[in-house]
Amino acid sequence: MRIGHAKESYAADEALLDSPFQWTMLALMIAGLAALPLFGDPYWVYLVCLIAIHVIGATGLNILTGFTGLVSLGHAAFLGVGAYTVAVLEARIGTPFPVNLLAGGLAAAAVGLVVGLPSLRVKGLYLAIATIAASVILHFVFLHWASLTGGPAGLSLPPATLFGVALDTPFALYWLILPVAGVMVLGAANLFRTRVGRAFIAIRDRDISAELIGIPLLKTKLMSFGISSFYAGVAGGLWAYFFRVVTPESFPLIMSIFFLAAIIVGGLGSILGGVLGAVFMTLVPEALKLGVGLLSGVLPDAVAILAPVRTVVFGALIIGFLIFEPLGLAEIWRRFRRLQHLWPFRT
Amino acid sequence: MRPRSVVSEPAPALAVAGVTLSFGGVRALHDVSFEVQPGSITSVIGPNGAGKTSLFNCISGFYRPAAGSIRLFGERIDRWSPPRRARHGLARTFQNIALFRGMTVLDNIKLGRHAHLETSLVDALVYYGRARREEVALRAEIEHRIIDFLEIDHIRKAPVGALAYGLQKRVELARALAMRPKILLLDEPVAGMNREETEDMARFILDVKADWGVTILMVDHDMGLVMDLSDHVLVLNFGEVIARGRPAEVQDDPTVVAAYLGSGDVESLRRRFAGGSDRGAEAA
């Protein structure tokens, strides 16, 4: 039972976390994540790294689609731009990894600005198709600009190095990927406490009045595209360091749909939703694998039916969330918190 | 054109001159001219389809008039984009509420100040420092000047979509006030309201004029409200100005009565009901 907190200043009322309880929970979570590589097995460390990369990507797409209302099905291609930029810089030039990551993000943002140009005129489905077209073009570039991208074989890159130490295992990369993800999620949350983020939501909710209160539509939409692709580019860059090989097949259209599914399941227009959605969507296939592993004792050919089941469950989850909880996991969490506030007086 | 002298004679808050607007063959506005004096309340009335909202859309920048000019405190604004007009102190509310439904009341009001805030993208991502200072100052000002004034402190954290109609109208006024307007366009501020809500809104409009010094141009069908509040009334019919003046003058103007009640004198109507076929006489 945590009824509420009296706040004594407007600054306190504007804070992201509004109670000592929340701060405690956050500290516990960070401590848990920091302790994971010390106690957890490599598989879990690998999985958490992958989740963190997906969290960055999903948060980026949420800024564009969830908050600004511009549907994009080209998000994976922006990850690709980031990954290729990092791979080329690392393998061919050998600049330090922070520079590469930043360059990956900026390159993706630059491409995102171009792809975003039609967004002033086209919306909804039409924009979705335009972004698919952009992603097809980018895939063509990845495949055929062989002198830079290595063509169909792709590029492999040496590990990131920090003070002479090669970050070549998930255990080492964990300390790079998680802080970056944390900082980027915090940045996104901050964004929506200020005029910049509010302008995005205004455009989503009612673009006509947004313009009337002084929000320039094209500039703001492009800004949203740019930030979203920057997040994708950084996620792609981390992805490149994590898997150390980048091919045109690494970033298929289905990955864009994966991110879209993640923010729908998690909660469109909610930072927490993007995070929860990415966690959930990454863990579902793993949970299925685990389930199939258990079943294979009973059912010998369980592995053979794994692939279709995964796809079916993916689809069923999206449809289920659209019907039963359109506001996603974030809304379920919010309801749980409200229940916590009032329990045991009302449930 | 006579030269405007800035010193001797203050520019009108809003000067509309010869504005004409057509949609295909339909003439929505024809040669509409009027001036709004600073610090006054001017109302535009007229039957449905008279062009009142078209006029508002021209002033706020949605429609670009085919001819004529619009000046805001002497500056010609008719070629400006809506955001630029907003930055220069033009604010507006809508006949059908145009709030951001997914956001809280507080965020809607904060959005009104958007054009006057300075937080950059990098400031926003970092938040601590400049962005935080600006946000907290904005919040304090909104709380003290707008939320208290419009008596909406109990709903500040509520999502706008969940509010009653009358409250949504009030939040829209709050957002417009947050824009630091010099002139406020109110499109049917009391449409669909009950008597109590209408009286509240009337009080707010008068207070905005008196306490904030904001010039108001409004459209409404509530004649009681228009006649009580306005300093000046402009009557439109079929896109043309058919009368203007003080409320009492306009009320007694025969062309205004005709526009609202239909043309023809009582005798000709009586003959029509009696079965006479004297359309020619009626037209005359």
B235-262 confidence digits (pLDDT tens) = 998 889 998 999 988 888 888 877 776 6
Whether B67 contacts B16, CB under 8 Å: no
B135–A214 CB contact, under 8 Å:
no
- Per-residue pLDDT at A346: 64
**Residue B64 identity:** R
pLDDT above 50 (res B6):
no
| Distances A126 to A4, A118, B141 between C-alpha atoms, Å | 45, 10, 41
Quick one: pLDDT at residue A285? Answer: 78
The kind and range of the H/E element at A50 are helix A42-61
Query: What is the per-residue pLDDT across A166-223, written as a single tens digit (0 to 9) for each?
Result: 888 888 899 999 999 999 999 999 999 999 999 999 999 988 889 888 899 999 999 9
- Is residue A224 within 8 A of residue A63, CB to CB? The reply is yes
Residue of B nearest to A199 (CA): B111
Are A250 and A83 in contact by the 8 Å Cβ rule? The answer is: yes
Cα–Cα nearest to B23, from B65, B60, B70, B81: B65
Amino acid A234: pLDDT: 97
In a domain, A256, yes or no: yes
> A18 lies in a domain?
no
SS3 content of chain B, % helix, strand, coil (to 5): 45, 20, 35
* Per-residue confidence (pLDDT) for residue A82, from 0 to 100: 96
User: B102 and A269: CB-CB below 8 Å?
Assistant: yes
Does the interface predicted TM-score (ipTM) exceed 0.90?
A: no
Residue A284: what pLDDT?
84
Q: Which of A192, A205, A213 to mutate to test the interface with B (most CBs of B within 10 A)?
A: A213
What CATH number does residue A294 fall under?
Answer: 1.10.3470
Res A21: pLDDT: 80
Query: Which band of pLDDT confidence, cut at 50, 70 and 90, is reported for residue B276?
Result: very low
Domain assignment of residue A293, yes or no: yes
Q: Domains (ranges, CATH) in chain B? A: 8-89+181-252 (3.40.50.300), 99-178 (no CATH)
Query: Which residue type, as a one-letter code, is found at position B175?
Result: R
What does the pLDDT look like over A282-315, one tens digit per residue?
988 788 777 777 777 777 776 777 667 767 877 7
Q: Residue A338 and residue B235: Cα distance in Å, rounded?
A: 53
* CB pair distance less than 8 Å for B135 and A193: yes
Mean pLDDT, chain B, integer: 87
Confidence of residue B270 (pLDDT cuts 50, 70, 90): low
Residue A176 lies in a domain: yes
> Helices then strands (H, E): number in chain A?
15, 4
Lowest mean pLDDT among B2-6, B13-17, B53-57, B161-165: B2-6
User: Could you check whether the bond before residue A344 is cis, i.e. omega within 30 degrees of 0?
Assistant: yes
* Greatest Cα pair distance in chain B: 81
- Report the C-alpha dihedral over residues B189, B193, B199, B205, rounded to 10 degrees: -10
In whole angstroms, how large is the CA radius of gyration of chain A?
21
Domains identified in chain A, total number: 1
Best residue of B95, B96, B108, B127 to probe chain A, by most A CBs closer than 10 Å: B127
Residue A316 placed within a domain: yes
Cβ B81 vs Cβ B215: under 8 Å: no
The parts of chain A modelled with pLDDT lower than 70 are: 1-4, 302, 306-307, 310, 346-347
Establish, for the pair of chains A and B, how many residue pairs have beta carbons separated by less than 8 Å: 114
Range of the structural domain that residue A127 is part of: 41-342
pLDDT in the model for residue B252: 81
Contact B139 A13 (CB under 8 A): yes
User: Quick one: pLDDT at residue B204?
Assistant: 95
Closest residue in B to A14 (Cα) is B136
CA–CA dist A132, A80 (Å, integer): 14
Q: How confident is the model at residue B273 (pLDDT cuts 50, 70, 90)?
A: low
